[in-house]
Amino acid sequence: MTFLLDEIALATARLAEAGVPSPRTDAEEIAACVHGVRRSELHTVKDSDFDALFWEGVARRESREPLQHITGRAYFRYLSLEVGPGVFVPRPETEVVVGWAIDRLREMDVASPVVVDLGTGSGAIALSIAQEVALATVHAVEVDPDAYGWAKRNIIEHGQGRVHLHPEDLADALSELDGQVDLVVSNPPYIPPGAIPRDPEVRDYDPHRALYGSGSDGLDEVRAVERTARRLLRPGGFVAVEHADQQGTPVYLIFSEENGWRDVRSRQDLTRRDRFVTARFGRE
C-alpha cells in the first residue's frame, strides 16, 4: 500500500460522511487529476511525489462542489469535455437520449444527415452525434455567453469541423435551415419555477438558466423547441426532447397530431423513469 492509496482511503471516508454518492470513485478521480495519472495508475505514484493539493480537492468535493468542476472534465459517452462554472454538467440520463438519436440517424436512408442541438451547453450532445455518426453535420445552438464559451472550447477540441456553433436563441434559431433538418434534439431548461433540486451539486453550482424553465410548469422552453423543430424538420424528420421524470405526460401532449406530429412516444432512462419524448414530423 502506498502513501497515496492510504490518503485515498481516508478521503473516501470523509466524502462518504459528507453524503457524496460515489466517495471512492471521486477520491480516486481527484487523486488522478492532481497527480497527472489515470485511476488505474494511482498505485504507481511514489510516496515522495504525493501532492497535498489532493486534500484541497477533497475539501471542495466534501462541500459538494461538483467533481467535474474540481477536475475540469466531464465524461459523456466516449468524450472527455471541458466544463466548469457557467455551464451545465452533462448527466448520464442524457446519454440515453443521445443513444436514441444516434440509432435513428444510422437507420435513415440519408447520406449526410443534418442535425440540430438546441441549447447545447457544453456541446455534449452535438459532439457525441458528430463523433458517432460519421457523415452527420451538426448545428449546435447556445445563446448563453458563458455556456457558449465552454461549447466553443469543446468543439475546437472534438468537433472535427462537422459541428457548427451558433450564438442564437433556441426559439428562433437557424431560419436558413427551415425544412432541411433530419433530426432535432434538445435538453432544455424544464424545472418549474419554485422547485428546488435535491442535489446540492445541481442546486448550488449548475447555472440556473440551464435548469429552470419558464411558465408555471417550467415547460415554455420545451414548447419553443416544439415550434422550432416543426419549422426546421423535413417531412419524416425526428425530434427528441429531454424532461424531468414527472413531466412525461405534459411533454407528450405538447407534440400534438394537430401540429403535424406522428409516432409520439414517451421513453425511459436506465432507471425506467420517463426521461424524454420523441416524435416524427409529418410524412415522408
Catalytic residues: 88, 187-188
The secondary structure of 224-245 as a DSSP string is: HHHHHHHHHEEEEEEEEEE--T
Helix (H) or strand (E) holding 151: helix 145-158
Q: What is the dihedral of CA 117, 120, 126, 128, to 10 degrees?
A: -130
Write the single-letter amino acid at 158: H
Distances (CA, A) of 115 to 103, 243, 270: 13, 20, 24
Distances (CA, A) of 9 to 21, 36, 159: 15, 19, 38
CA atoms within 13 A of residue 193's CA, in its CB half-sphere: 5
Give the number of other CB atoms < 10 A from CB of residue 214. 16
Give the number of other CB atoms < 10 A from CB of residue 49. 13
